[in-house]
Structure 1
Amino acid sequence: MKDWKAWRKRERERIIAERLAIASAHNQRWSTAISSLLQQGFPNLRKKKIGLYWPFRGEYDPRPAAHDFMAAGAVLALPEVVGKNKPMHFREWWPDAPMCLGAYDIPVPHETRCIQPDVLIVPMVGFDQKGYRLGYGSGYYDRTLATFSVCPMTIGVAFEMQRLENVHPQLHDIAMHYVITEMGIFQAGRELLQQIPAELCAKNNAVV
């Protein structure tokens, strides 16, 4: 596709508008299903450093599931935008952590320590059949992932209504290892996303 930027802009605007229009009861039900799948399919997160995000514009809220992982021993962190075209920092976060408003007026931890996550729970405006994500267009996640010495496991989270056939990935785009929607856990591979049972996912991601 020649004009992929314009296409992405149109799809981004459409999906965000549709997501914001979702009834709160539907959003809550779908979010509960995603949280349950995260907990069932990824027991190893209880012992990991997890990068999550503060929900924005109708996104799935990962904080309830993250609280449970933290109670079992995980360390949590939220992203901080430190400059245009720069990789993000991940700052340690806990429910009572000091907060301030960051870029786009999204809350970020105030001067807590920076950590490099083992796992990233990644927000998605959209995603395609190969696990590539449509983000907000600034490239922060792809830019940040490219700087990590060891690539963390990436778990993209979204609702099924955000699924696309093809986001027309470019060379800088990085596919997710897993995608979770309210309908299940999907693993990326050489071909299309493959749905896998939570029990099998848990076996592959057991606590070591």
Structure 2
Amino acid sequence: MFIDSSNYQTHAMKDWKAWRKRERERIIAERLAIASAHNQRWSTAISSLLQQGFPNLRKKKIGLYWPFRGEYDPRPAAHDFMAAGAVLALPEVVGKNKPMHFREWWPDAPMCLGAYDIPVPHETRCIQPDVLIVPMVGFDQKGYRLGYGSGYYDRTLATFSVCPMTIGVAFEMQRLENVHPQLHDIAMHYVITEMGIFQAGRELLQQIPAELCAKNNAVV
């Protein structure tokens, strides 16, 4: 996790909230209009890259999410990680302006409806994830994320004593030049689209082969 204080960070931009709102609505509408065949093909590619580039996730506690409004569905890849030993957890919104909890999830876990009517595990144990697979409405050339506007992920990440690795997932059509990050925004460590794996750093996102990504994240 890093917070970039360079002049790229445009926290003084006028009307950045209005700009984000417009972009959020535009991208969600375009994402919902994607043909199901394209969504399936792109999602399969992202799942494959996730498995190839991060094989060590099968030894981790993984925070993922329940797909919403045309998002990439991480559950098929997560099932494979779980079969190899990973522990999975889904986020639970516990209150406005509060960090989320992550509750353990498995395919037959008891569920209830949470915020935005998104299913959440019902009273399963809370988990502190080692890795977060994070949904993105949009993302920019430095790995900053455009979310739904409530700030839950940034607020939650700021509370971890040991920062989990963050993997933002989205389709390439959700890429933006600049989301105009604010001081509270936290960039992803990695971004995965159907076009590849991209690593964030002090410069622009750098695409890296899945094999190199796996090597860089290997558990010794």
Query: Could you say which TM-score interval applies, normalised by the shorter chain?
Result: over 0.9
- What SS does the aligned partner of 1:156 have? strand
Measured in 2, the distance between the counterparts of 1:78 and 1:122 equals 11
Structure 1 gaps of 5+ residues are: none
SS at match of 2:182: coil
Q: For residue 207 of structure 2, what is the aligned residue in structure 1? A: 195
Distance in 1 separating the partners of 2:129 and 2:155: 15
Other structure's SS at 1:136 match:
coil
1:120-131 alignment, distance < 5 Å = 120-131=132-143
3-state SS of the aligned residue for 2:90? Answer: strand
Match of 2:101 in 1: 89
Root-mean-square deviation (Å): 0.5
2: CA distance between counterparts of 1:44 and 1:153?
A: 12
TM-score w.r.t. structure 2 length?
Answer: 0.94
Q: For residues 31-88 of structure 1, what are the alpha-carbon distances to aligned partners after superposition, in whole Å with 9 as ceiling and x for unaligned?
A: 0000000000001101000000000000000000000000000000000000000000
Give the aligned partner of residue 35 of structure 1: 47
Per-residue displacement from partner, 1:119-175 (whole Å, max 9, x unpaired)? 000000000000000000000000000000100000000000000000000000000
Structure 2: distance between partners of 1:190 and 1:101:
39
Contact 1:81 1:88 in 2 (8 A): yes
Q: Would you say how many aligned residue pairs link Structure 1 and Structure 2?
A: 208
Please give the alpha-carbon distance, in whole angstroms, between the structure 2 residues aligned to 1:15 and 1:37: 23
How many angstroms apart in 2 are the aligned matches of 1:204 and 1:191? 18
8 Å CA contact 1:155–1:176 kept in 2: the answer is yes
Contact (CA 8 Å) 1:43, 1:207: kept in 2 or not?
A: no
Render the CA deviation track for 1:152-208: whole Å, top value 9, x for unaligned.
000000000000000000000000000000000000010100000001001011233
Q: Secondary structure in 2 aligned to 1:112?
A: coil
8 Å contact from structure 1 (residues 154, 176) kept in 2: yes
TM normalised by structure 1 equals 0.99
Runs of 4+ in 1 over 4 A off after TM superposition: none
The CA distance in 1 between the partners of 2:53 and 2:219, in whole Å, is 11
Q: SS of the residue aligned with 1:34? A: helix
Structure 1, 198-207 or 16-25: larger mean CA deviation? 198-207
2:15 & 2:127 partners in 1: Cα distance?
A: 37
Q: Deviation string for 1:14-47 (max 9, x for gaps)?
A: 0000000000000000000000000000011010
